[in-house]
Structure 1
Amino acid sequence: MKKKEGGWCRSFREQDFPDSDRRRIRVRPDLQPWLSKGDINKMELLAGGEVVSKARVPAHGQVLQVALDPPAPQQKSEPPEGGPAHRRAGTHSERCQQGHCSLVKRTDDWFEVFAFHLDRVLGLNRSLPAVLRTFHSDILPYRYISGTPRPVVWWDPDIKHLADKDNDQNSVPLSWARYQKLLQVHCGSKANLKTAPCVGVDHPEWGRLALYDFLLQVNDRLDRYCCGFKPDPTDLCVENLLYTKCGNTNELLLVHILVRKADPSTLVFIDNAGRPQQSANNLNFRLVEGIDEFPESAVSVLQSGCLESLLLHSLYTDREFWDSQGGASGFRTIIQTVEQRGKILLQHIRDKKLRVNRDL
C-alpha cells in the first residue's frame, strides 16, 4: 500500500478539485489511476451519449434501459468493449449488444454511483461503471426528464442470466444453505468448480463480495430476506413478508449472483445502492457469515487511512454527481460512514483471525 498509494495518503487540497473544469467526466491519469481506459470510455458514454431508444426491463418497473449514441470522439474509436465498429443504424437490442446501453435507475439509487467508485479504489473491479445524469431527451417519459438527476449504470451485454423469468437476476440458482456449504469446501482450490456444492465461482470471489456488501450494507444479494439486521417497516423484505422466512434456511435464496459468459468464475456486482444511512449499531454481519478470507488490496486500503482521499479524487471525475452532493465537504459524511464500517470489518477480521490473501 505504501508503495502503490502512498502519495494519496495526504489531506485533500481545494486546488485538487477545481470548479473551472466543466467536463462531464474529469479524468487525469495522475489523479485517478485506478480508473481504466474502458471505465473512462463507459463513463463518458453514460454521461454524454445521446439517447436514441428505450426499452422496459421485464419485472423492473422503475428501471429503464436506454441506448446511447457515443459522444463524437468515441464514434471514431472502438466501442466500450472493443466489439464491432459503432454505427447509428440498428435495433435497440443490437445497440445493447454493442455495449451502447445503460440502465437508468431511481433517483433514490444515487448511492450506486458512489459504490462504483468505492469498488475501483479498493481494487475489486467487479462493479459496472455508473454516473449521475440529468436527461432532457423527448424519447424518455416525463419523470425521467423532470430535472432530477438519476444514476445511470452501464449495461453489460455479456452477463449471463437464467432463462427463468422469475429468477433472471441470477447466473446460477443459489440457496443460503448451499452457499454456506460451498464456502466450506473452497471451490477452485480444494474442490472442483463444477462439482456440487460449487457453482463455478472461485472461492476468493465471495470474500470480495462480502467485504463490498458490508461496507455498503447491501442486503439484496446475500440477505434479501433481511435476516441479519433489524429492517425498517417500509423495507420491501418486510412489506413482502420475506422477513418471516428467516427461520427456515432451506427457503432462503440469494439474488444478483451474476457472472459473465466469457468469465464464469468471476462475479459481477450489480444493484449496489446499499444503505448509506444504516446505523453502526444495526450493521448486517450475516453478509460476512462463512467468509474465511478477504482480498489483500482492499484490506490494505481500509488499513491505510487513505480511503477518504482516494474516494474524493475518484468521485471528482463525475462532475454532476460531485456538484449534486456539494463537492468534497458534501461527501465527507458518507465517506466517514464507510470508513467506520471499514474499521468494524477490520476488527472482525482480527477477532476471527481470518486470512487476508494476496490478489491474483
Structure 2
Amino acid sequence: MKNIMGLINLHESDDLLREITRYRPLAAIPFAGRYRLIDFALSNLINSGITNVGILSAGNSRSLMDHIRSGKEWDLARKRDGLFILPSLQTGNVQGAFPNDLADVFANLDYIRSSRQRFILLTGTRMVCNINYEAVYQFHLEKKADITVLYKEYSGGDIRRFTNATMVETDDCSRIVDMEICPVHPRSTKMSMGMCLIDRQLLVDLIDASMSRGGTNVARDCFAKNLGTLKMYGFSFGGYLARISSVQSYFDHSRELLSPEVWQELFFANGSIYTKVKDEAPAKYQQDAAVTRSLVANGSVIAGKVENSILFRGVKVHKDAQVINSIIMQKSEIGPGVVLENVICDKDVKITAGKKLKGELNHPIVIEKGTVI
C-alpha cells in the first residue's frame, strides 16, 4: 500500500447540519464521545499503510486544524510524506448538493503531481466506518480498473432516508454502468461511499480537462460525465457504515454506538481508531449517580441519572439531573434538577437548575455551542 496516497476532500455539504456546523466543518463534528469525523478517515488510511495524506480544506477549518495539529496521533508527523494541509480558495460553509471542489483540487495539483505514489485514495469524512483498503487495492488491480468506487448496498426502503446521496448501478462484472448524483427518487440501492481509488495521473488529466470545460464538481464533472469512456468498477463494502448527512442521521447513528456489537466493529474491526490525546482523569461517578447503557468519556463528573446517552469529555451532570437519549458534548454542564430527553448539546452549553427540555426521537432538540439556558 506504499504505492497509494490519500486525499481527504472536506468539500462536503452541511446544509442539514447547520446547527452543529455553524462553527466548524463537517469533518470536525464531535462523534462517539472522544472523536471527530475526520479521525475515521485518517485512521483507515494509516491502518491500510497509506502514509502520504493530503487534506483539502474548506470553509472555517480552525477547529479542525487545532484537532489534527501535526498528525502525530495518526503517525503522520514524518520526515518523508506525512500529513499535508491543502488550502482552499473559498471561505464560508460548504453549501449545495454540488460543492465547488474542482477549483480547489486544480489549485493544489502541484502537490498531487509531486507525489511518489502511483494511485490516489480519494475520500471524504461523511462516511463513518472501519475499513482496510488492501482488498480494494487488490480488486482494482485485478479488474485493471481506471477508477474503483466503494459502495454500500441497502434495501429499497432504507435508501429513501438518505439525502444528497450518490447512487451507482453495476453489472454482473461489477462494472459501474450508471451513476446518479443526488437523485430525488433513487433507482439503485447501491450508495456510493464517497471513496474511490484512481490512478494519480488519470486524476490529474481529468481535473485539467474538466476545468478547461468549465466544470465545478469532481464527482459530476470528472467521474459521472466520463462513465462511458472510463473503466469504472464498484467495490461492495459489507461492514458497518454511518452516513452523517443531517442532524437526524447524526443523532440516530450516535445512538447506534450504544450497541456493543456496533461499537466493537466500528472501533476495532480493521484496526484502532485514533484521535487527539488529552490527558484527563477518568470519569467520576458520585454516590447518587445512576448510569445505564451510556458512553461516558474521561474527565466527566456524574452525580445524576444518565440513560441511553453519550457524554463527551469534561461533562458535568449535577445531582437530581436526568439525561435521557441525549448527546452532551465537551465541557457542557447540566445543572441540578434538569431533565433532558432527546437533546443534542454542543460544546460549552450550560443548562441551569430546574430546566426541562424534551425533543422527539425523530426530531431532537439542538442547543448550539456556548448557549446558556
Alignment TM-score > 0.5, same fold: no
Indicate the structure (1 or 2) with the bigger Cα radius of gyration.
Answer: 2
Task: Give the number of the structure with larger relative contact order, counting CA–CA contacts within 8 Å between residues 6 or more apart.
Answer: 1
TM-score, normalised relative to structure 1 = 0.24
Higher helix share: 1
TM-score, normalised relative to structure 2 = 0.24
Higher strand share: 2
